């Protein structure tokens, strides 16, 4: 690996809310907003995910534009509990296209990227100070798309461009493939065009994700039989069930199992967006996303990226959606996990356009939201919003 390069970042600090000199004012670590600028004038950053560290700081996984290829490079940024920059690790251009998400297991952090030459999926283990512990090629897996946690193991979604398969795999934290199954995307030279344009960022960024139903089957959102579909799998050949989209023009943009086959989800369809806080999916048959009723959200950008997680707020389970609006703000929407009723909405960002990338719960009961903004309307930079416990409780209740 080439020697890491650390760039000094200039930090612009703005508070999320108006100043309050009362005794109830949140401390800086409880609530803040930061934009991280780079001394390299034309640098372009793409935030991917954020996790809080044991020291209450934040580890940010991001990507950056490379002049030598359409693939993007890999960057790790460490900031302290107040959001102040500590250090940045820039990986060798040998590794490209880090995928969502950044996973924490037993105080170690894992992410997945791709070898720029072999296209092989590669697992990285890092410390909470953004130091690399190990780099493990994942034999047989290429074009990585998504990484999730599966207990003490990891769940991956990737693409095999030789066999034209979407591949769902369970791997150990040491990189051993424990289970794996491929599902055809369909025959023909044009079926993989949306996938390749996703990787090179020359086309639409597609909502690949994967997960597991508690006590049940695994699922992934990827291409199967010519269309972006939610596929249910038990790693035994053909899918257990499929919820079909419409090629790459429609399908799920997010999905998580709340209780068994009861999901919280969102979908897009030819530019329109629908939020679905509760839906019982047929996990053993073939259905279509167009048959699922949802709440239309015309204020979201066309085919909006949606971050969806179940979080705990003051002892209550909450369905939290994050997305990007046409007005250039980040929106958070909190729904009651049992009833699916909307509890609250919060908008973040002003002056410059903002887009969401991810969020994570914090040890103080708050929330950290990572996103992208264009400083002076020209330079793509990473931004970090920190909501206090009271701000999150106000949103969720």
pLDDT in tens, 190-227: 889 999 999 998 889 999 999 999 888 999 999 999 99
Is this structure's pTM higher than 0.85? yes
pLDDT in tens, 254-275: 999 999 999 999 999 999 999 9
49: CB partners within 8 A, 6+ apart: 60, 61, 100, 101, 102, 111, 357, 358, 360, 370
Q: What is the pLDDT of residue 340?
A: 94
Strand duo 250-259 + 262-269: pairing = antiparallel
308: β partners: 321
The pair of structure tokens assigned to 116 is 């720029």
Q: Pinpoint the alpha helices (H) of 252-324.
A: none
pLDDT in tens, 72-125: 999 999 999 999 999 999 999 999 999 999 999 998 999 999 999 999 999 999
273: CB partners within 8 A, 6+ apart: 253, 266, 267, 296, 297, 298, 300, 302, 303, 304, 306, 323
273: β partners: 268
Integer Cα distance of 110 and 84 in angstroms: 23
CB-based contact 172:181 (threshold 8 Å): no
Looking at every residue in the chain, the average pLDDT score rounds to 90
CB-based contact 343:313 (threshold 8 Å): no
For residue 313, the SS3 value is: strand
For residue 396, the SS3 value is: helix
């Amino acid at each position: 690996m080439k020697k890491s390069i650390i760039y000094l970042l200039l930090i612009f600090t703005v508070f999320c809310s108006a100043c309050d000199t009362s005794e109830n004012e949140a401390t800086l670590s409880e609530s803040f907003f930061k934009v991280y600028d780079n001394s390299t004038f034309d640098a372009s950053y793409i935030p991917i995910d954020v996790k809080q560290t044991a020291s209450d700081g934040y580890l940010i996984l991001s990507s950056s534009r490379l002049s030598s290829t359409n693939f993007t490079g890999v960057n790790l940024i460490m900031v302290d509990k107040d959001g102040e920059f500590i250090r940045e690790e820039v990986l060798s251009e040998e590794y490209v296209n880090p995928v969502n998400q950044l996973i924490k297991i037993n105080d170690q952090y894992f992410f997945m990227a791709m070898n720029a030459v072999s296209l092989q999926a590669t697992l990285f283990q890092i410390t909470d100070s953004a130091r690399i512990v190990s780099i493990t090629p994942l034999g047989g897996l290429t074009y990585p798309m998504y990484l999730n946690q599966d207990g003490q193991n990891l769940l991956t979604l990737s693409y095999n461009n030789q066999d034209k398969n979407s591949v769902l795999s369970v791997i150990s934290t040491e990189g051993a493939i424990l289970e794996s199954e491929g599902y055809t995307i369909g025959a023909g030279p044009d079926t993989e065009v949306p996938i390749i344009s996703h990787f090179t960022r020359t086309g639409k960024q597609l909502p690949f994700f994967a997960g597991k139903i508690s006590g049940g089957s695994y699922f992934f959102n990827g291409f199967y039989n010519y269309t972006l579909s939610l596929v249910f799998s038990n790693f035994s050949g053909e899918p257990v069930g499929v919820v079909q989209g419409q090629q790459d023009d429609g399908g799920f943009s997010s999905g998580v199992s709340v209780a068994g086959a009861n999901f919280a989800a969102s979908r897009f369809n030819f530019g329109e967006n629908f939020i679905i806080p509760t839906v019982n999916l047929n996990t053993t048959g073939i259905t279509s996303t167009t048959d699922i009723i949802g709440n239309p959200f015309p204020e979201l950008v066309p085919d909006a990226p949606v971050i969806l997680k179940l979080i705990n707020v003051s002892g209550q389970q909450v369905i939290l959606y994050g997305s990007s609006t046409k007005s250039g703000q980040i929106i958070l929407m909190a729904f009651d996990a049992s009833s699916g009723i909307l509890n609250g909405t919060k908008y973040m960002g002003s002056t410059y356009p903002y887009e969401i990338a991810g969020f994570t719960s914090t040890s103080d009961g708050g929330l950290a939201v990572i996103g992208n903004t264009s400083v002076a309307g020209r330079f793509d930079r990473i931004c970090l919003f920190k909501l206090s416990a009271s701000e999150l409780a106000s949103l969720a209740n």
